[in-house]
A = this chain, B = another copy of it.
Protein backbone atom coordinates (compact mmCIF):
# COMPACT_ATOMS: atom_id res chain seq x y z
CA UNK A 1 0.00 0.00 0.00
CA UNK A 2 1.07 3.55 -0.71
CA UNK A 3 -0.55 6.22 1.47
CA UNK A 4 -0.05 9.70 0.02
CA UNK A 5 -0.32 13.01 1.85
CA UNK A 6 1.58 15.67 3.76
CA UNK A 7 -1.12 15.59 6.42
CA UNK A 8 -0.22 12.01 7.37
CA UNK A 9 3.44 12.93 7.89
CA UNK A 10 2.78 16.16 9.79
CA UNK A 11 0.58 14.39 12.33
CA UNK A 12 -2.40 16.53 11.39
CA UNK A 13 -4.34 13.49 10.19
CA UNK A 14 -4.09 10.02 11.70
CA UNK A 15 -4.22 7.50 8.89
CA UNK A 16 -7.13 5.07 9.17
CA UNK A 17 -6.86 3.39 5.78
CA UNK A 18 -3.78 1.26 6.41
CA UNK A 19 -5.34 -0.71 9.26
CA UNK A 20 -8.59 -1.06 7.32
CA UNK A 21 -6.85 -2.39 4.22
CA UNK A 22 -4.78 -4.75 6.37
CA UNK A 23 -7.86 -6.21 8.00
CA UNK A 24 -9.87 -6.51 4.78
CA UNK A 25 -7.04 -8.17 2.84
CA UNK A 26 -6.38 -10.61 5.68
CA UNK A 27 -10.05 -11.61 5.69
CA UNK A 28 -9.86 -12.09 1.92
CA UNK A 29 -6.86 -14.40 2.21
CA UNK A 30 -4.40 -11.85 0.82
CA UNK A 31 -1.24 -10.64 2.58
CA UNK A 32 -0.41 -6.99 2.94
CA UNK A 33 3.37 -7.10 2.54
CA UNK A 34 4.56 -3.50 2.76
CA UNK A 35 3.26 0.01 3.37
CA UNK A 36 4.85 3.32 2.51
CA UNK A 37 3.69 6.81 3.41
CA UNK A 38 5.00 9.62 1.22
CA UNK A 39 4.34 13.38 1.01
CA UNK A 40 2.54 15.23 -1.81
CA UNK A 41 5.72 15.36 -3.86
CA UNK A 42 5.48 13.90 -7.36
CA UNK A 43 9.01 12.47 -7.50
CA UNK A 44 8.49 10.64 -4.23
CA UNK A 45 5.13 9.22 -5.25
CA UNK A 46 6.52 8.02 -8.58
CA UNK A 47 9.59 6.40 -7.02
CA UNK A 48 7.61 4.63 -4.28
CA UNK A 49 4.92 3.47 -6.70
CA UNK A 50 7.42 2.05 -9.17
CA UNK A 51 9.22 0.20 -6.37
CA UNK A 52 6.00 -1.24 -4.95
CA UNK A 53 4.34 -2.22 -8.23
CA UNK A 54 7.46 -4.08 -9.36
CA UNK A 55 7.71 -6.01 -6.09
CA UNK A 56 4.11 -6.90 -5.32
CA UNK A 57 1.09 -8.44 -7.05
CA UNK A 58 -1.11 -5.43 -6.33
CA UNK A 59 -0.65 -1.92 -5.01
CA UNK A 60 -3.36 0.15 -3.34
CA UNK A 61 -2.91 3.90 -3.03
CA UNK A 62 -4.84 6.34 -0.86
CA UNK A 63 -5.04 10.09 -1.21
CA UNK A 64 -4.34 12.86 -3.65
CA UNK A 65 -7.20 12.41 -6.11
CA UNK A 66 -9.30 15.45 -5.19
CA UNK A 67 -9.71 18.74 -7.08
CA UNK A 68 -7.01 20.93 -5.52
CA UNK A 69 -3.40 21.74 -6.38
CA UNK A 70 -2.06 19.27 -3.80
CA UNK A 71 -3.93 16.39 -5.48
CA UNK A 72 -1.26 15.08 -7.82
CA UNK A 73 -1.67 11.34 -7.63
CA UNK A 74 -3.14 10.91 -11.14
CA UNK A 75 -0.19 12.76 -12.66
CA UNK A 76 2.27 10.75 -10.59
CA UNK A 77 0.68 7.44 -11.60
CA UNK A 78 0.70 8.52 -15.25
CA UNK A 79 4.39 9.34 -15.01
CA UNK A 80 5.17 6.06 -13.24
CA UNK A 81 3.53 4.15 -16.12
CA UNK A 82 4.69 6.61 -18.83
CA UNK A 83 1.05 7.19 -19.80
CA UNK A 84 -0.59 10.48 -20.78
CA UNK A 85 -3.03 11.79 -18.18
CA UNK A 86 -6.26 13.07 -19.67
CA UNK A 87 -9.98 13.43 -18.88
CA UNK A 88 -11.69 10.04 -18.76
CA UNK A 89 -14.96 10.29 -20.76
CA UNK A 90 -17.01 8.14 -18.39
CA UNK A 91 -15.72 10.04 -15.35
CA UNK A 92 -16.65 13.31 -17.08
CA UNK A 93 -20.16 12.00 -17.76
CA UNK A 94 -20.67 10.90 -14.16
CA UNK A 95 -19.37 14.09 -12.61
CA UNK A 96 -21.22 16.37 -15.03
CA UNK A 97 -24.49 14.61 -14.13
CA UNK A 98 -23.68 14.73 -10.42
CA UNK A 99 -22.92 18.45 -10.32
CA UNK A 100 -25.86 19.28 -12.55
CA UNK A 101 -28.13 17.41 -10.14
CA UNK A 102 -26.69 19.42 -7.26
CA UNK A 103 -26.80 22.73 -9.18
CA UNK A 104 -23.06 23.13 -8.71
CA UNK A 105 -20.75 24.47 -11.42
CA UNK A 106 -18.50 21.89 -13.08
CA UNK A 107 -15.42 24.01 -12.39
CA UNK A 108 -11.95 23.47 -13.79
CA UNK A 109 -10.92 22.21 -10.35
CA UNK A 110 -13.74 19.63 -10.33
CA UNK A 111 -12.77 18.58 -13.86
CA UNK A 112 -9.34 17.67 -12.45
CA UNK A 113 -11.06 14.71 -10.81
CA UNK A 114 -11.91 13.23 -14.23
CA UNK A 115 -8.25 12.93 -15.20
CA UNK A 116 -6.71 9.44 -15.33
CA UNK A 117 -3.77 7.85 -17.09
CA UNK A 118 -4.90 6.81 -20.57
CA UNK A 119 -6.67 3.43 -20.57
CA UNK A 120 -7.36 3.38 -16.82
CA UNK A 121 -10.39 1.47 -15.53
CA UNK A 122 -12.62 3.45 -13.17
CA UNK A 123 -13.30 2.44 -9.56
CA UNK A 124 -16.82 3.43 -8.53
CA UNK A 125 -17.28 5.96 -5.74
CA UNK A 126 -20.78 5.59 -4.28
CA UNK A 127 -20.13 8.38 -1.76
CA UNK A 128 -19.14 11.43 -3.79
CA UNK A 129 -19.05 10.04 -7.37
CA UNK A 130 -15.52 11.22 -8.35
CA UNK A 131 -14.01 7.83 -9.20
CA UNK A 132 -10.77 6.11 -8.36
CA UNK A 133 -9.06 4.16 -11.10
CA UNK A 134 -6.99 1.10 -11.84
CA UNK A 135 -3.90 0.96 -14.04
CA UNK A 136 -2.50 -2.56 -14.42
CA UNK A 137 -1.85 -3.80 -10.87
CA UNK A 138 -2.30 -0.41 -9.18
CA UNK A 139 -5.59 0.66 -7.56
CA UNK A 140 -5.81 4.40 -6.96
CA UNK A 141 -8.29 5.37 -4.27
CA UNK A 142 -9.35 8.34 -2.18
CA UNK A 143 -7.78 9.28 1.15
CA UNK A 144 -11.04 10.18 2.93
CA UNK A 145 -11.67 7.00 4.93
CA UNK A 146 -15.37 6.67 4.10
CA UNK A 147 -14.60 6.89 0.39
CA UNK A 148 -11.49 4.68 0.55
CA UNK A 149 -13.55 2.00 2.27
CA UNK A 150 -16.37 2.21 -0.28
CA UNK A 151 -13.94 2.06 -3.22
CA UNK A 152 -12.15 -0.91 -1.66
CA UNK A 153 -15.48 -2.73 -1.34
CA UNK A 154 -15.82 -2.35 -5.12
CA UNK A 155 -12.27 -3.52 -5.79
CA UNK A 156 -12.18 -6.60 -3.56
CA UNK A 157 -14.45 -8.85 -5.65
CA UNK A 158 -12.09 -8.34 -8.61
CA UNK A 159 -9.07 -9.74 -6.72
CA UNK A 160 -8.12 -13.41 -6.61
CA UNK A 161 -8.87 -14.54 -3.08
CA UNK A 162 -6.37 -16.86 -1.42
CA UNK A 163 -6.88 -19.45 1.27
CA UNK A 164 -7.82 -17.41 4.30
CA UNK A 165 -5.23 -16.83 6.98
CA UNK A 166 -6.82 -17.56 10.34
CA UNK A 167 -5.39 -16.92 13.76
CA UNK A 168 -5.74 -18.07 17.33
CA UNK A 169 -4.79 -15.78 20.21
CA UNK A 170 -3.62 -17.50 23.37
CA UNK A 171 -3.27 -15.47 26.56
CA UNK A 172 -0.15 -16.42 28.45
CA UNK A 173 0.17 -15.49 32.13
CA UNK A 174 3.96 -15.09 32.13
CA UNK A 175 6.37 -12.56 30.65
CA UNK A 176 7.84 -12.79 27.17
CA UNK A 177 11.25 -13.45 28.69
CA UNK A 178 10.09 -16.83 30.02
CA UNK A 179 8.33 -17.68 26.79
CA UNK A 180 11.01 -16.73 24.29
CA UNK A 181 13.17 -19.84 24.38
CA UNK A 182 10.55 -22.60 24.19
CA UNK A 183 8.36 -20.56 21.82
CA UNK A 184 11.20 -20.29 19.33
CA UNK A 185 11.46 -24.09 19.36
CA UNK A 186 7.72 -24.43 18.73
CA UNK A 187 7.97 -22.00 15.80
CA UNK A 188 10.73 -24.16 14.29
CA UNK A 189 8.56 -27.28 14.61
CA UNK A 190 5.60 -25.59 12.87
CA UNK A 191 6.94 -23.91 9.74
CA UNK A 192 3.46 -23.58 8.21
CA UNK A 193 2.52 -21.11 10.93
CA UNK A 194 3.65 -17.62 11.90
CA UNK A 195 3.75 -17.32 15.68
CA UNK A 196 3.79 -13.83 17.13
CA UNK A 197 4.44 -12.83 20.70
CA UNK A 198 3.05 -9.57 22.05
CA UNK A 199 3.74 -8.18 25.50
CA UNK A 200 0.73 -7.00 27.47
CA UNK A 201 1.68 -4.40 30.07
CA UNK A 202 -0.93 -3.48 32.68
CA UNK A 203 1.17 -0.63 34.10
CA UNK A 204 2.78 -2.91 36.63
CA UNK A 205 3.49 -6.36 35.21
CA UNK A 206 3.91 -7.90 31.77
CA UNK A 207 2.07 -10.93 30.51
CA UNK A 208 2.06 -12.09 26.91
CA UNK A 209 -0.39 -12.73 24.14
CA UNK A 210 0.68 -15.40 21.71
CA UNK A 211 -0.89 -15.46 18.25
CA UNK A 212 -0.66 -18.34 15.80
CA UNK A 213 -1.48 -17.49 12.18
CA UNK A 214 -1.74 -19.98 9.35
CA UNK A 215 -3.51 -20.72 6.10
CA UNK A 216 -3.93 -24.29 7.37
CA UNK A 217 -6.35 -24.76 10.25
CA UNK A 218 -4.72 -28.07 11.15
CA UNK A 219 -1.24 -26.53 11.35
CA UNK A 220 -2.62 -23.63 13.36
CA UNK A 221 -4.32 -25.95 15.87
CA UNK A 222 -1.26 -28.20 16.18
CA UNK A 223 0.96 -25.23 17.02
CA UNK A 224 -1.64 -23.81 19.40
CA UNK A 225 -1.79 -27.16 21.25
CA UNK A 226 1.99 -27.13 21.66
CA UNK A 227 1.82 -23.58 22.96
CA UNK A 228 -0.84 -24.45 25.53
CA UNK A 229 1.29 -27.38 26.73
CA UNK A 230 4.28 -25.03 26.97
CA UNK A 231 2.29 -22.55 29.07
CA UNK A 232 1.10 -25.30 31.43
CA UNK A 233 4.71 -26.39 31.84
CA UNK A 234 5.92 -22.86 32.55
CA UNK A 235 3.19 -22.20 35.11
CA UNK A 236 3.79 -25.58 36.79
CA UNK A 237 7.48 -24.63 37.03
CA UNK A 238 6.52 -21.41 38.85
CA UNK A 239 6.81 -18.83 36.05
CA UNK A 240 4.97 -15.57 36.75
CA UNK A 241 4.19 -12.27 35.03
CA UNK A 242 7.34 -10.20 34.55
Residue numbers of A with Cβ under 8 A of B are: 6-15, 18-26, 31-40, 44, 66-71, 99, 102, 104-105, 107-110, 112-113, 127-128, 144, 146-147, 165, 167, 175-181, 183-184, 187, 194-199, 201, 206, 211, 213, 240, 242
Contact = CB atoms under 8 A, between A and B. Distances in A.
Contact of A195 (B9, B12, B70, B102): B70
Given A7-B198, A198-B7, A198-B13, A108 B178 contact: no
Q: Which 10 A-B pairs have the closest CB atoms?
A: A109-B180, A11-B23, A11-B22, A110-B177, A69-B184, A35-B37, A68-B197, A67-B180, A14-B19, A68-B180
Nearest to A13: B198
Given A11-B25, A67-B176, A69-B180, 20 more contacts: A6-B196, A9-B33, A9-B34, A11-B22, A11-B23, A11-B24, A11-B32, A15-B19, A18-B37, A33-B39, A34-B39, A66-B180, A66-B199, A67-B180, A69-B183, A69-B195, A102-B242, A105-B177, A108-B181, A109-B176
A180 B112 contact: yes
Given A36-B35, A68-B184, A107-B177, A144 B19 contact: no
Nearest to A197: B68
Contacts of A36: 34-37
A22 to B, nearest CB: 3
A107 B25 CA distance: 38
Contact of A201 (B128, B178, B201): B128
A202 B44 CA distance: 32
A68 B110 contact: no
A22 B10 contact: yes
Copies of this chain in the oligomer: 2
Contact of A11 (B26, B183, B184): B26
A13 B167 CA distance: 13
A56 to B, nearest CB: 12
A66 B176 contact: yes
Q: Name the residue in A24, A39, A183, A197 with the highest tally of chain B Cβ atoms < 10 Å from its Cβ.
A: A197
27 contacts: A6-B196, A9-B33, A9-B34, A10-B165, A10-B213, A11-B19, A11-B22, A11-B23, A12-B196, A34-B37, A34-B39, A35-B35, A67-B176, A67-B177, A68-B176, A70-B196, A70-B197, A102-B242, A104-B240, A107-B178, A109-B176, A109-B178, A109-B181, A127-B201, A128-B199, A144-B201, A147-B201
